[in-house]
Amino acid sequence: MAAQTIESVLHEQRLFQPAAAFVEHARIKKHELETFQQQAVQDHEKFWAGLAREQISWHKPFTQILDSRRAPHFRWFGDGLLNVSYNCLDRNLKDKAGKTAIIFEGEQGDVRRVTYAELHRDVCRFANALKAKGIKKGDRVVIYMPMAPEVVVAMQACARIGAIHSVVFGGFSAQSLKDRIEDAGAKMLITADGGTRGGKVIELKLAADQALAKGCSTIESVIVLKRSGQTIPMQSGRDVWWHDAVKNVSDQCEPVWVESEHPLFLLYTSGSTGKPKGIQHSSAGYLLGAIVTMQWVFDIHDDDIFWCTADVGWVTGHSYVAYGPLATGATMVMYEGAPTIPDGGRFWDICQRHGVTIFYTAPTAIRGLMKLGDDLPAKYDLSKLRLLGTVGEPINPEAWMWYHKHIGRERCPITDTWWQTETGAHLIAPIPGAVATKPGSCTLPLPGIAADVVDEEGNSITQPNQGGYLVIRKPWPFMLRGIWGDEQRYIDTYWKKFNNKYYVAGDTAHKDEDGYFWIMGRADDVLKVSGHRLGTMEIESALVAHPRVAEAAVVGKPDEIKGEAVFAYVVLKGARPTGGVDEALTKELRAWVTEQIGPIARPDDIRYADNLPKTRSGKIMRRLLRSIAAGEAITQDTSTLENEAILLQLQGKA
Ligand code: PRX
């Protein structure tokens, strides 16, 4: 998309100053933020090095800060040694052994509290179980589990022995799981009999078995957590129950000290082309990002009850469930299920019962719950809440105002956090005791984050409200370190556009008169469905893998709750169904995509056409397809279309 064509349509004027009561206890006040900003501008590397020395417990302190010799491959704190699990657990044992680390609530209402001492013990035992199965530093372990304390135990145990975990969201299909296991070359899979969500059992072990039956030759063993209790087959020699694996092992496990740059995890995410890519994160830099953003953006205090509703299958569940809260010694809530079980008051009920003080969720959840009415949250005592957050996609001002009024009761600041799987932690977000907010804006970059908006040539856009590409001008410690097994793709995707000078986020944005950032959306063909990232290419490949499909084009269609919905245009092998309608096939194709990728990728609409609109050079006219999906008038030039009558088919009018 050309930057000149990026126009901003939002003109939000409201400004919310942080309330005095909040500011009084805030970790960072306005003058402190200004000092931080100045320090970061004066000496970027020294700023980050100071924080890394202060916030991380090092086994061997680093002397080198940033190594840019192989830019855009950057190394931070290169000669230091540390262990992330030590930083999350052991160092809390002195003062916080009896403090609750996790308050877990199952969808059925079962509640379990785990203290730091217990979590440390469980992680040590599980780490020893991994070692007993031959897992060593650098081995990849895929985790495909429901939301339960054990998933955090599994991730932390990998970190403890230097194994690289790759969590695959439980909603992904067997096929997606297989692709990720194979790409990572994983030696072990950790899963569960099943999970529960929305009252339904998710057949995790079944899907895992299907994935392994299709290939995954590197997998040597599978550890299975008993959670749903359903009967599942166990393959002898390969599968072992979690409770058996930890039976005869010690509850002491010396952490493996790793180099700062040792990969902590891979997390697969969608891009605009090709298969999902394994985003690789470091140990020290990543940990630092999780810690400082917990402090700055979430203003975490010792007595807070922090709840991030994200699943650990996404980066938000890594930084703000599995690592950030523990590394800052916080107490967090973890919830297994859906927000609507038994009704749309479940989130507010959990906030009330567990005394949640900081609540972090996605715009799609806010919009979905907003639709259910104001009387639901009104039933609950939300007086303990002091800070709200949102992530994953732009939040529309209407949803922001509802969140502010009905959940925050006009008392809690809202921190709209812009970041990505690749960025590791928040990059642009209001520091709640120091920065006034505007509904729909993620406000200002954090100290040490050189965010900017540039035009097609890579020049800074100085004129307010003019859209362009969102870039980060300087490396930061918690940035991705690469794409697993594909160095060229790392450069092509994030750096090439502006000659390796800046990190290119793939979003379009503009800054207003106050320098506030407004994210406008993706500049590429990545969809955001309920805040989850899906590549149009991936869904198209899944569709064309169906024996009856010749060609497919997928675009996003604006959706009131999900943000975007999947809209697919399909050309069949053979004749188009009469009048463009074939309900049985549509049903079959929707089920097919679910099987290939997972329910989140299932198309909401499928439209059949004799062919797809293409430019003379053969490129699919996606903007045209997007306009049609949105039901907008067609303003694009369609004179190059071979068969203009096709437009009626695409519009569902013929
Ligand atoms: O388009 C931006 C959008 O989500 C993308 C990153 O997606 P993912 O890697 O799945 O990570 C989501 C959780 C960090 C971004 O490129 N995005 C994320 N947060 C925001 C956002 N768009 C607007 N406002 C946000 N706060």
Give the DSSP H/E element, type plus range, for residue 305: strand 305-308
- For Cα atoms 380, 436, 35, give the angle at the middle one, nearest 5 degrees: 125
**Cβ burial 165-191 (10 Å sphere, 16+ → b, else e):** bbbbbbbbbbbbbbbbbbbbebbbbbb
- What's the pLDDT score for residue 273? 72
Token pair for residue 168? 């695959």
CB-side neighbour CA atoms (13 Å) of 276: 29
Ligand 1 mean position, distance from CA 526 (Å): 11
**Quick check: helix, strand or coil at residue 461?**
coil
| Residue 186 DSSP one-character state | -
Ligand 1 mean position, distance from CA 474 (Å): 20
- What's the pLDDT score for residue 472? 98
- What's the pLDDT score for residue 11? 63
Ligand 1 mean position, distance from CA 5 (Å): 22
**Under 8 Å between Cβ of 102 and 149:** yes
The whole-number average pLDDT for the span 217-229 is: 97
- What's the pLDDT score for residue 493? 95
In total, the chain counts a number of residues equal to 654
Helix 174-184, helix 204-213: angle, nearest 10: 60
**Quick check: helix, strand or coil at residue 416?**
strand
Asked if the model's pLDDT at residue 6 lies above 80, the reply is no
Give pLDDT tens digits for 13-36.
899 999 999 999 999 999 999 999
Burial of 374 from C-beta contacts in 10 A (0-12 / 13-18 / 19+): exposed
**Quick check: helix, strand or coil at residue 201?**
strand
| Sequential DSSP letters for 22-85 | HHHH-SS-HHHHHHHHHHHHH-HHHHHHHHHHHHS--SB-----EEEEETTEEEESTT-EE-HH
User: What residue ranges in 106-256 does DSSP mark as E strands?
Assistant: 111-115, 140-144, 164-167, 188-192, 195-197, 200-202, 221-225, 239-241
Asked if the model's pLDDT at residue 522 lies above 50, the reply is yes
Give the DSSP H/E element, type plus range, for residue 564: strand 563-572
**Cα separation values, 560 from 269, 368, 475, 630, 631, Å:** 24, 9, 36, 12, 14
**Cβ burial 298-337 (10 Å sphere, 16+ → b, else e):** bbbbeebbbbbbbbbbbbbbbbbbbbbbbbbbbbbbbbbb
Ligand 1 mean position, distance from CA 420 (Å): 5
Give pLDDT tens digits for 595-614.
999 999 999 999 999 999 98
**Cβ burial 581-611 (10 Å sphere, 16+ → b, else e):** ebeebbeebbebbbbbbbebbbbeebbbbeb
Which among 81, 425, 104, 74 has a CA at the least distance from the CA of 283?
81
Give pLDDT tens digits for 539-553.
999 999 999 999 999
Report the nearest atom of ligand 1 relative to the CA of 532: 10
**CA-nearest residue, atom 25 of ligand 1:** 418
Residues near ligand 1 (Cβ within 6 A): 269, 315-316, 391-394, 416-421, 442, 505-507, 519, 522, 528, 533
Ligand 1 mean position, distance from CA 477 (Å): 19
Taking the CA atoms of the chain, what radius of gyration do you get in angstroms?
24
More confident residue, 3 or 565: 565
The mean pLDDT value of the chain amounts to 95
**CA-nearest residue, atom 22 of ligand 1:** 393
Asked if the model's pLDDT at residue 8 lies above 60, the reply is no
pLDDT band at residue 634 under the 50/70/90 scheme: confident
With a CB cutoff of 8 Å and minimum separation 6, the contacts of 339 are 309, 346, 347, 365, 368, 369
Cis peptide preceding 342, ω within 30 of 0: yes
Measured CA to CA, the distance from residue 164 to residue 144 in angstroms comes to 14
The whole-number average pLDDT for the span 82-109 is: 97
**CA-nearest residue, atom 5 of ligand 1:** 420
Asked if the model's pLDDT at residue 371 lies above 60, the reply is yes
**CA-nearest residue, atom 2 of ligand 1:** 393
**CA-nearest residue, atom 18 of ligand 1:** 392
Measured CA to CA, the distance from residue 275 to residue 396 in angstroms comes to 30
Which among 27, 116, 131 has a CA at the least distance from the CA of 386?
27
Asked if the model's pLDDT at residue 122 lies above 80, the reply is yes
Specify the amino acid at residue 475: P
Q: Give me the percent of the chain exceeding a pLDDT of 90.
A: 90
Ligand 1 mean position, distance from CA 244 (Å): 40
Measured CA to CA, the distance from residue 514 to residue 440 in angstroms comes to 14
- What's the pLDDT score for residue 2? 36
**Under 8 Å between Cβ of 458 and 498:** yes
What pairs with residue 279 in β-bridges? 267, 483
Q: Give me the percent of the chain exceeding a pLDDT of 70.
A: 98
**Cα separation values, 615 from 255, 429, 618, Å:** 57, 40, 5
Which among 483, 480, 482 has a CA at the least distance from the CA of 425?
480
**CA-nearest residue, atom 8 of ligand 1:** 420
Measured CA to CA, the distance from residue 141 to residue 221 in angstroms comes to 10
**Cα separation values, 220 from 117, 190, 238, 377, 468, Å:** 31, 11, 7, 48, 48
Report the nearest atom of ligand 1 relative to the CA of 526: 1
pLDDT band at residue 10 under the 50/70/90 scheme: low
Query: Cα torsion at 451, 276, 366, 320 (round to 10°)?
Result: -70
Which among 370, 363, 361, 412 has a CA at the least distance from the CA of 389?
361
**CA-nearest residue, atom 7 of ligand 1:** 420
- What's the pLDDT score for residue 267? 98
Pocket test for ligand 1, best of 308, 364, 418, 564 (most atoms within 8 A of CB): 418
Give pLDDT tens digits for 253-300.
999 999 999 999 999 998 777 788 999 999 999 999 999 999 999 999
Maximum CA extent, the chain:
74
**CA-nearest residue, atom 24 of ligand 1:** 394
Report the nearest atom of ligand 1 relative to the CA of 429: 26
**Under 8 Å between Cβ of 232 and 119:** no
- What's the pLDDT score for residue 654? 83
Report the nearest atom of ligand 1 relative to the CA of 521: 1
Ligand 1 mean position, distance from CA 57 (Å): 30
pLDDT band at residue 525 under the 50/70/90 scheme: confident
Token pair for residue 176? 């997606």
Give pLDDT tens digits for 436-465.
999 999 999 999 999 999 999 999 999 999
For the whole prediction, is pTM greater than 0.85?
yes
Asked if the model's pLDDT at residue 139 lies above 50, the reply is yes
Give pLDDT tens digits for 459-486.
999 999 999 999 999 999 999 999 999 9
Asked if the model's pLDDT at residue 3 lies above 60, the reply is no
- What's the pLDDT score for residue 373? 92
Ligand 1 mean position, distance from CA 285 (Å): 20
pLDDT band at residue 635 under the 50/70/90 scheme: confident
- What's the pLDDT score for residue 271? 79
Measured CA to CA, the distance from residue 161 to residue 258 in angstroms comes to 9
Report the nearest atom of ligand 1 relative to the CA of 505: 16
Ligand 1 mean position, distance from CA 512 (Å): 20
- What's the pLDDT score for residue 1? 35
Phi and psi at residue 614, to the nearest 5°:
-130, 155
More confident residue, 46 or 11: 46
Number of H helices, E strands in the chain: 22, 30
